[in-house]
Copies of this chain bind each other. A is one copy, B any other.
């Protein structure tokens, strides 16, 4: 179930002392090859942390040997000194592992605007390198947690059903952290994916972009966008199985979807996971835009917290999407909450008291625009007292 399940990878997670809590805070992931293919997707925020600036360059040539990740500090808004800290971290990993610093992806997560404790971090790198193991995936997953209440890992295995001529299974493993600031253009989210399939850098990049666009990019917990979001895919080729781009897309998407749902299920202070599905849109982009408008409505999300199937708030959120983005007629829209069509044709539908939001954590909202055939789902959470509490107390 972890990033070390695919062949060719070792990992470790250790406690370097970056977190006051004394929890693990440095993870190291090494691709032992034979291939060292990498692809990366990063936050679309214009304010990016030093490690994002660094890692964008590292993945540019499609080759990387290792990923070092720390929790306990985002190294964002830390100026040239912060970038030097990231650079020094990569160089230290390179020295310890006998590789090039330009092949070391660096990821950080935690508070913005504070320098990292570099000596502690570099000590953590040493300890992690010494602890590297083919069973180290779960430790690494734990070391990247911030306000996550549990580590997030996923694994899919493919190829068992192949004809003997092309025998051999291959897999994609993943780990992620993130429990708030989940938004389009990714979340305060770090994710490392590993595969032992033999793929080229172009296919890895295409697979990662396709997969993240329909998974992580459609998780919008609180509408906020982080400075540090990074998703990295490492491919070792160690299975000896060469896979097509389509096969890779399918497997990487499955792992990302699994991790994305785990992120929503562990979002800061949430008591409901809400899937907003828009059907009957003219295009997928239109469906996403309408779904996102609903997932961004504080009023609707507070209503769900109160177990109130307030479809009027859904409809007023839907109505904020400009007509050029999503053509539809307001008086044609149906809204179905947990299977009950509480709004029909823009007006009162079935009895809203039939909707029981208190029964389960999962909430399904389906908005049918009756304007076309396209559909999309965006996931979010409710807006709770605990969300406000955790985010007002986070840095104090």
A330 & B48 in contact (Cβ 8 Å cutoff) = yes
Given A47-B346, A388-B302, are A224 and B317 neighbors across the interface (CB < 8 Å)? yes
Residues of chain B within 8 A (CB-CB) of A299 are 180-181, 222, 224, 391
Instruction: Report the bound CA distance from A283 to B77 in whole Å.
Output: 25
- Restricting to A75-93, which residues have a CB under 8 Å from any CB of B? 76-79, 82
In the assembled complex, A117 has its CB within 8 A of some CB on chain B? no
The answer, among B74, B227, B347, for a CB contact under 8 Å with A79, is: B347
Residue ID in chain B nearest A310 by CB atoms: B395
B392 & A348 in contact (Cβ 8 Å cutoff) = no
Residues of chain B within 8 A (CB-CB) of A393 are 306
Residues of chain B within 8 A (CB-CB) of A319 are 45-48, 225, 227
Q: Please, could you name 28 A-B residue pairs with CB atoms under 8 Å apart, sorted by A?
A: A44-B320, A46-B319, A46-B330, A47-B319, A48-B319, A74-B312, A76-B316, A77-B312, A77-B315, A77-B348, A79-B346, A79-B348, A112-B313, A113-B348, A223-B296, A223-B297, A223-B298, A224-B299, A224-B313, A225-B320, A227-B316, A298-B383, A298-B387, A302-B392, A303-B391, A310-B394, A383-B388, A383-B391
Residue ID in chain B nearest A348 by CB atoms: B113
Instruction: Report the bound CA distance from A308 to B227 in whole Å.
Output: 19
Residues of chain B within 8 A (CB-CB) of A164 are none
Which residues in A have some Cβ–Cβ distance to B below 8 Å? 44-48, 74, 76-79, 82, 111-114, 180-181, 185, 222-227, 296-299, 302-303, 305-306, 308, 310-313, 315-321, 323, 330-331, 333, 343, 345-348, 383-385, 387-389, 391-396
Residues of chain B within 8 A (CB-CB) of A181 are 299, 316
Residues of chain B within 8 A (CB-CB) of A317 are 224
Instruction: Report the bound CA distance from A319 to B88 in whole Å.
Output: 26
How distant is A355 from chain B, measured CB to nearest CB, in Å?
A: 12
Given A46-B319, A225-B316, A320-B45, are A388 and B384 neighbors across the interface (CB < 8 Å)? yes
Copies of this chain, count: 2
Residue ID in chain B nearest A384 by CB atoms: B388
Residue ID in chain B nearest A113 by CB atoms: B312
A303 & B394 in contact (Cβ 8 Å cutoff) = yes
Residues of chain B within 8 A (CB-CB) of A346 are 47, 77, 79
Instruction: Report the bound CA distance from A386 to B148 in whole Å.
Output: 25
Instruction: Report the bound CA distance from A79 to B346 in whole Å.
Output: 7
B315 & A396 in contact (Cβ 8 Å cutoff) = no
Instruction: Report the bound CA distance from A145 to B46 in whole Å.
Output: 42
10 smallest CB-CB distances across A and B, nearest first, come from A112-B312, A306-B392, A47-B319, A79-B347, A302-B391, A45-B319, A46-B319, A113-B312, A302-B392, A47-B330
Residue ID in chain B nearest A78 by CB atoms: B347
A305 & B79 in contact (Cβ 8 Å cutoff) = no
A305 & B392 in contact (Cβ 8 Å cutoff) = yes
